[in-house]
Structure formats: structure tokens, C-alpha cells
Amino acid sequence: MVTPSPYYQPPPSLWPAVGSLALLAFASGFVLFLAKAGAGPYLMLAGGLLLVVMLYGWFGMVIEESLAGKLEGQVDKSFRWGMVWFIFSEVMFFAGFFAALFYARYIAVPDLVTAQSIWPGYLGGWPTAGPGSKEAFTPMAAWGIPAVNTMILLSSGASVTWAHWGLQNGRRWQIVLGLLMTVLLGLIFLGLQAHEYLEAAFSIRTGIYGATFFMLTGFHGAHVTLGAIMLSVILGRVLAGHFTADSHFAFAAASWYWHFVDVVWLLLFTFVYCL
């Protein structure tokens, strides 16, 4: 009669519903927090923790299935396609913020300069805090910490690829060392970014420059954090002996994500810091 399908069908699972509840709690808490209601932060915390529990449970389940050999072949190909399209959606998310940056620089601000009857004396240029702002500010210089950070992230891209070669050639020490270096470089990057934020002579309220600077670098930093968490999990799994040269989707996905974060940084360095 019917033979079992080669394509793995997961059994019913409660984790997705837990995830939805977590996001509902987090969003409701955020709304209450913004409305300055006392319960807001607690609800956000509860939602956030529940989300972490859900991610731990869900990914843990996938790891078990992977170890049981249920995610090979056609399923593995699905996972690879899925990750590619997920990264594409992330690219489009950043594209929205880059579009805001370019629009403001090349269309909105020059337009405001022509509106002298409304904003007399506004000279425009970039960076700018806009015609309503009277105080001068010092923008972030490109050739200090940001340039160092560029080198750090590029090196981390190289080290994660080196770890991948180690995996392909079965050299375990090389995988561990490569991943360890990558995570450390990511953490150093985040530390330097935090330092830069604390030392910044302007804030997210500093007009369109401050808004685009902090939103772009902030979301990038959040993605670096996520990527570093992913790679740390992968490092743990390597130490537990999870991957083989033929079967290591999770490793590949995390390293693709890391390269994506790298590329976003190069665009940030060029368009937010240098130009």
C-alpha cells in the first residue's frame, strides 16, 4: 500500500501557538509601555521570555530531528531555499531604511533649502538635523572606530569561511577555532559600536541624520547580535559533534546570515559614515 513519504512530515506542535501568544503579549506590553501604563514592561518581559522559551523548544526539536536524520535530501534543500528567501526579506527590510536615507539626503533636504519662505536661512547639506534645529552637532567620523569595525567584520567573514573549510575537510580544531574567532570578532564589533553610541555627540533626536544613523546602525547591531547568537549555538553544536561534511545546513545558514550582516555593514560604512 502506501509507503512512508521520503519528505519528513513533522507531528502536530504547540510551539507555533506559543510563539504567537508570546508576540501578542510582547506587542500588548509595548503598547501599554508607550501609553505609560505600569504593567507594560512586565508584560513585555513576559512575552520576551516566552518567545525565548518558544525558540529554544522549537529549535531544540528541529535539532533532534536533524540528528535523527529526518531532515536530509529534499528537506535539506527546502531549508536552504527557505533561508535564502528569509535573507532576501531581511535585505528588503534594510532597503526601506536605506531608501529613507537616500530620499532624505537627495530629495527632502534639497527641497527644504528651496523653501526659504518657510525656513529662512536654511542651508541644507549633509549631515543635517533639519531646518528646525538650531544647535550644531558633530557627525560620526568614518576613519576612526568605524573603519576598525569594518576590518573586524570583514575578518569575521573570512574566519567563518575558514571554519566552513575546516568542516568540509573534517578538521575539527579549525571549525572550533574559526567559529570562536568569528563570535569574538562579532562581540568586539558590538562593544565598539556600544562605545561609539555612548560617545556620540548627537542622538536619535538629532533630525534626519540622527534618525537614519541610529535606526540603520541600530538595526544592523541587532542583526549582528542575532548572528552572533546563531554562531554561538552552532559552535556549541560543533562541540557536541553535530555536523558532518555532507550535512550541516544550520552551519551554512548561520554563516550565510553572517555574510549578509557583513554586506549590510559595508553599505552602512559607505553611505552612512563615509559619504
Partner 1 sequence: MDAAAIHSGYQSHPTGPMRWLTSTNHKDIGTLYLWFSLSMFLVAGSLAMLIRAELFQPGLQLVQPGLFNQLTTMHGLLMIFGAIMPAFVGFANWQVPLMIGAPDMAFPRLNNWSFWLLPAAACLMLSSFFVPGGATSGGWTMYPPLYIQGGIAYDMTIFAIHIMGLSSILGAINIIVTILNLRTPGMKLMTMPIFVWTWLITAYLLVAVMPVLASVVTMLLTDRHFGTHFFDAAGGGDPVMFQHLFWFFGHPEVYIMILPAFGIVSTIIPTFARKPLFGYVSMVYAVASIAILSFLVWAHHMFTSGLPAGAQIFFMYSTMLIAVPTGVKVFNWVATLWRGSISFETPMLFALAMVCLFTIGGFSGLVLAMVPVDVQLQDTYYVVAHFHYVLFAGAALSIMGGIYYWLPKWTGHMYDERLGQIHFWLTAIACNITFFPMHFLGLAGMPRRIPDYAPQFADFNMMASVGGFVLGASQLLFLYTVIKCIRGGAAAGDKPWEGATTLEWTLPSPAPYHSFTTPPTLEPDNHHGHA
- Helices 207-239, 74-103: inter-axial angle, 10-degree rounding: 160
- 46 is an interface residue for partner 1 by CB under 8 A: no
Our CB check for partner 1 shows the closer of 139 and 166 to be: 139
- 107 is an interface residue for partner 1 by CB under 8 A: yes
Which span sits near partner 1 by CB under 8 A: 100-108, 152-160, 230-238, 263-271?
Answer: 100-108
Tell the smallest beta-carbon distance from residue 264 to partner 1 (Å).
Answer: 13
- Rounded to whole angstroms, the Cα distance separating 211 from 99 reads 13
- 267 is an interface residue for partner 1 by CB under 8 A: no
- 250 is an interface residue for partner 1 by CB under 8 A: no
- 157 is an interface residue for partner 1 by CB under 8 A: no
- 129 is an interface residue for partner 1 by CB under 8 A: yes
**Given 39, 52, 95, 222, the residue binding partner 1 (CB under 8 A):** 95
Give residue for cell 518657510: 118
- Omega within 30 of 0 (cis) for the link into 120: no
87-121 exposure pattern, b = at least 16 Cβ within 10 A, e = fewer? beebeeebeebbebbeebbeeebeebeeeeeeeee
Tell the smallest beta-carbon distance from residue 241 to partner 1 (Å).
Answer: 26
- 116 is an interface residue for partner 1 by CB under 8 A: no
Tell the smallest beta-carbon distance from residue 124 to partner 1 (Å).
Answer: 8
194-223 binders of partner 1 (CB under 8 A): 203-205, 207-212, 214-215
- 90 is an interface residue for partner 1 by CB under 8 A: yes
**Given 44, 109, 145, 185, the residue binding partner 1 (CB under 8 A):** 109
**Given 44, 50, 112, 231, the residue binding partner 1 (CB under 8 A):** 112
- Rounded to whole angstroms, the Cα distance separating 219 from 37 reads 26
**Given 56, 103, 106, 165, the residue binding partner 1 (CB under 8 A):** 103
Tell the smallest beta-carbon distance from residue 120 to partner 1 (Å).
Answer: 14
DSSP H stretches of helix in the chain: 15-34, 40-67, 74-103, 109-114, 145-168, 172-199, 207-239, 249-268
- 24 is an interface residue for partner 1 by CB under 8 A: yes
Give residue for cell 502536530: 12
- 256 is an interface residue for partner 1 by CB under 8 A: no
- 73 is an interface residue for partner 1 by CB under 8 A: no
Helix (H, G, I), strand (E, B) or coil at 214: helix
Tell the smallest beta-carbon distance from residue 179 to partner 1 (Å).
Answer: 26
Tell the smallest beta-carbon distance from residue 172 to partner 1 (Å).
Answer: 31
- 82 is an interface residue for partner 1 by CB under 8 A: yes
- 11 is an interface residue for partner 1 by CB under 8 A: yes
64 close to 15: Cβ distance less than 8 angstroms? no
Burial class (CB in 10 A: 0-12, 13-18, 19+), 173: exposed
Alpha-carbon distance values, 77 to 91, 118, 163, 239 (Å): 21, 58, 22, 25
